[in-house]
């Protein structure tokens, strides 16, 4: 009888996957460089025509706008590829495997017994005393996947400070004025200092929820990673809701947004308000020296905040600023020099947040400052999931909740640009 030699099936390892992603990233960067070069050439022609004839050819203007839009799309693609390329492969311990098996059994079949066998995954009620609204706390790996997905999709989390808490709110004492101090000799008397002025900031969390639906075919597929499916499904919903709240939330059952605080002229700024710089024109930059307002905005925060500062605005505002040049003829917007890093404006990182308002009369469409010092995001530990196979047959719903809060923690760290005369 002839022996048959079997050839082992070739599998794609993590190294090969990362190499493929790296090639895709380099290709995307090359495409971006070519588009940016074409954009600068076209915009230089447009500016030359405006200077010579007080107007530019409409076809040339449309070309600049098309290239501008293409740069937005290519920038987003590079950011996504950079994050995926940098994500590490995480190994699993036996305990994690056991927890994952129990959790997977619950997600796929609704088997509560598997969860009850693990002390770390005991059933808990989402709302105290209302069993019908109960759910189960997701294992740490599932929560970690959702958190990583949120960082990928939520630009605000990349610049703000994030703190995990175990309560429904976080209270932070703040020294506004600071304690008095002075100099004295070795044997000189020390006069009594005044007590510092204190304030207590409260950051309550609100419940963020999503309800992705799955087919039973997906759940029965033993190869499908249900944890990753759940993280992917809630990612965009969670990110969109929380980014909108971090930007302009009213603080009622949600974070208090950056633009929800009273904006006052920076010259009369006081604690509890956000200072702004005016552009000098309603709904636009000043016609003469438009960049001056941006420079004033940069120097509005104290020097200790500028080293870690960033610009924040939406992509339409970025598109407008991308056409500006400084007095030396250099573009004030520059593409990123490294994958995964933001582009820059006047030498400072620029982060695009779509929930920032468009340029309009009296709009505060641009923010600048050290957001890591200025804005605090609080995440209550624990993502809870309720499996519901009854409400939308033949689909299975997964009511997923996460508690998130946020607000400004240092009112001197962030300044706004107001498109107004004063």
Rounded Cα distance between 159 and 377, Å, is 10
Measuring CA to CA, which residue among 314, 313, 319 is closest to residue 69? 319
**The model's pTM:** 0.78
Measuring CA to CA, which residue among 73, 51, 43, 28 is closest to residue 331? 43
CATH of the domain at 261: 3.30.2400.10
CB 355 within 8 A of CB 248: yes
DSSP 121-147: G-EE-SSTT-GGG-EEEPPHHHHHHHH
Q: Are residues 258 and 138 part of one domain?
A: yes
CA 311 from centroid of its chain's CA atoms: 13
Q: Are residues 142 and 258 part of one domain?
A: yes
Q: Are residues 80 and 95 part of one domain?
A: no
| Structural domain includes residue 154 | yes
| Structural domain includes residue 293 | yes
| Structural domain includes residue 186 | no
| Structural domain includes residue 9 | no
Q: Check residue 257 and report its DSSP letter.
A: P
DSSP 327-348: TTS-BSEE--SSTTS-EEETTE
Q: What is the pLDDT along the chain (422 residues), one digit of tens a residue?
A: 444 444 444 444 555 555 555 677 777 777 878 888 888 888 888 888 787 877 788 888 888 888 888 888 877 777 767 666 655 444 444 445 666 777 888 888 887 776 665 544 444 433 333 334 457 888 888 888 888 888 878 889 999 999 999 888 999 888 776 556 778 777 777 776 666 677 889 999 999 999 999 998 888 887 788 888 888 899 889 999 999 999 999 999 999 999 999 999 999 999 999 999 999 999 999 988 899 999 999 999 999 999 999 999 999 999 999 999 998 899 999 988 776 678 999 999 999 999 999 999 999 999 999 999 999 999 998 888 999 999 998 999 999 999 999 999 999 999 999 999 99
| Structural domain includes residue 284 | yes
DSSP 83-96: HHHHPPPPP--HHH
| Structural domain includes residue 308 | yes
- The number of folded domains in the chain is 2
Q: At what angle do helices 140-153 and 226-248 cross, to 10 degrees?
A: 50
Structural domain boundaries, residue 291:
91-176+198-314+353-422
CB 200 within 8 A of CB 170: no
Burial class (CB in 10 A: 0-12, 13-18, 19+), 396: buried
Q: Are residues 231 and 135 part of one domain?
A: yes
> What pLDDT does 128 receive?
35
> What pLDDT does 153 receive?
83
Three-state SS for 254? coil
**At 325, phi and psi to the nearest 5?**
-120, 155
CB 140 within 8 A of CB 131: no
Among 63, 86, 109, the domain-final residue is 86
Q: Are residues 209 and 172 part of one domain?
A: yes
Among 86, 113, 131, the domain-final residue is 86
């Amino acid at each position: 009888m002839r022996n048959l030699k079997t050839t082992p099936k070739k599998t794609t390892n993590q190294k090969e996957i990362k190499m493929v992603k790296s090639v895709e990233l380099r290709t995307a960067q090359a495409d971006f460089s070519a588009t940016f070069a074409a954009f600068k050439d076209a915009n230089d022609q447009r500016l030359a025509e405006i200077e010579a004839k007080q107007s530019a050819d409409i076809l040339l203007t449309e070309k600049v706008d098309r290239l501008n839009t293409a740069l937005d799309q290519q920038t987003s693609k590079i950011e996504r590829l950079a994050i995926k390329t940098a994500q590490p492969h995480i190994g699993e311990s036996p305990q994690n495997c056991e927890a994952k098996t129990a959790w997977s059994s619950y997600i796929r079949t609704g088997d509560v017994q598997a969860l009850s066998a693990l002390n770390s995954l005991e059933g808990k009620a989402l709302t105290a005393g209302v069993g019908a609204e109960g759910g189960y706390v997701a294992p740490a790996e599932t929560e970690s996947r959702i958190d990583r997905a949120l960082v990928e999709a939520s630009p605000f989390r990349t610049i703000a400070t994030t703190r995990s808490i175990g309560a429904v709110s976080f209270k932070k004492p703040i020294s506004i004025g600071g304690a008095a101090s002075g100099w004295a000799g070795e044997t000189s008397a020390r006069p009594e200092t005044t007590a510092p002025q204190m304030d207590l900031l409260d950051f309550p969390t609100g419940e963020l929820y999503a309800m992705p639906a799955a087919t039973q075919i997906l759940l029965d597929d033993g190869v499908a990673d249900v944890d990753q499916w759940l993280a992917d499904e809630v990612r965009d919903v969670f990110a969109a809701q929380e980014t909108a709240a971090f930007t302009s939330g009213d603080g009622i059952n949600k974070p208090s947004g950056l633009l929800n605080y009273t904006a006052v002229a920076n010259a009369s700024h006081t604690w509890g308000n956000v200072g702004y710089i005016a552009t000098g024109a309603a709904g636009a930059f000043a016609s003469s020296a438009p960049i001056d307002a941006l420079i004033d905005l940069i120097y509005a925060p104290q020097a200790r905040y500028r080293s870690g500062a960033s610009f924040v605005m939406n992509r339409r505002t970025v598109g407008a600023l991308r056409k500006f040049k400084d007095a030396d003829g250099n573009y004030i917007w520059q593409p990123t020099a490294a994958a995964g890093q933001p582009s820059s404006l006047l030498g400072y990182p620029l982060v695009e947040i779509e929930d920032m308002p468009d340029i309009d009369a009296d709009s505060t469409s641009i923010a600048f400052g050290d957001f890591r010092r200025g804005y605090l995001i609080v995440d209550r530990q624990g993502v809870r999931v309720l499996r519901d196979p009854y409400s939308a047959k033949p689909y299975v719903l997964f009511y997923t909740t996460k508690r998130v809060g946020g607000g400004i923690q240092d009112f001197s760290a962030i300044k706004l640009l107001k498109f107004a005369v004063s």
